[in-house]
Amino acid sequence: MLEAAQLSRRWLKSATLRFGLKNRKIYKTLPRPVRIVLFVCKGNICRSPFAASYLGAKLKGRDCPIEVFSAGLETISGEKANPVASSVALQNQISLEAHVTTPVTRELIGRADLIIVMEFMQCVDLLKKFPEAERKVFRLGDFHKGLAREIWDPYGGTHADFEFCFRMIRRCCDNLMGALI
């Protein structure tokens, strides 16, 4: 097994080749079939719940059997979603009411066919802990039409920051959904 630093460098090189500036190639590198999608962010109170709830609702509306979950790299179990995130989600007809934080575990990584993180460094951190996930980790911002982008954490920001974050996640999830179904 490769050491974490070697694995991170290998993943970076692989990601650079896969994504580059033209992220159209990303669709060809997605694992197939995808039955379970896991969204991962730092605390699992804003971004990954936004993405999981939004994509889950869209897929359910299309009667698609893909399951969607979320988890955090640096979180504890059982916390509610951020109140501002919940408010912004409700404004967009998405509920985070039932959401509770879940730490990333080896079991979740093993079950997921596709793992979507919000920032590049989350890819690196995730692969240090779970190198077996190498071929199924992607950044959500890579599904933004145009240049790939980081989905920055709105935590501690204004209501407008949360709204901007949700719009970015919605746009990327719509493109991801197009690649999945």
Span 131-158, mean pLDDT?
90
The pLDDT of residue 29:
81
CATH number listed for the domain at residues 4-19+32-138+149-180: 3.40.50.2300
Catalytic member of 18, 64, 153, 170? 153
Q: Would you give the DSSP letter of residue 114?
A: E
The pLDDT of residue 21:
36
- The values of phi and psi at residue 114, to 5°, are -140, 130
Span 130-151, mean pLDDT?
89
What is the pLDDT of the chain when averaged over all its residues?
Answer: 88
What residues does each domain of the chain span? 4-19+32-138+149-180
Maximum CA pair distance of the chain? 47
Let me know if 64 is a catalytic residue: no
The pLDDT of residue 50:
97
How large is the C-alpha radius of gyration of the chain?
15
| 18 has a pLDDT exceeding 50 | no
| 118 has a pLDDT exceeding 60 | yes
Amino acid at 135: R
Return the sign of the alpha-carbon dihedral for residues 176, 44, 153, 29. negative
Confidence of residue 152 (pLDDT cuts 50, 70, 90): very high
Candidates 80, 71, 63; CA nearest to 37 is 71
Let me know if 153 is a catalytic residue: yes
The angle that helices 83-91 and 159-180 make with each other, rounded to 10 degrees, is 60
Let me know if 174 is a catalytic residue: no
| 2 has a pLDDT exceeding 90 | no
| 22 has a pLDDT exceeding 60 | no
Span 9-21, mean pLDDT?
51
Question: Are residues 69 and 146 in contact, defined by beta-carbon separation less than 8 angstroms?
Answer: no
Pairwise CA distance, residues 147 & 14, whole Å:
17
Residue 4 burial by Cβ neighbours in a 10 Å radius (0-12, 13-18, 19+): middle
- Write down the pTM of the prediction: 0.86
pLDDT digits (tens, 9 = 90+) for 48-95: 999 999 999 999 988 889 999 999 999 999 999 999 999 999 999 999
The pLDDT of residue 10:
61
The pLDDT of residue 5:
57
The pLDDT of residue 63:
83
Pairwise CA distance, residues 81 & 79, whole Å:
7
Confidence of residue 149 (pLDDT cuts 50, 70, 90): confident
Token code pair at residue 26: 């990303």
| 160 has a pLDDT exceeding 70 | yes
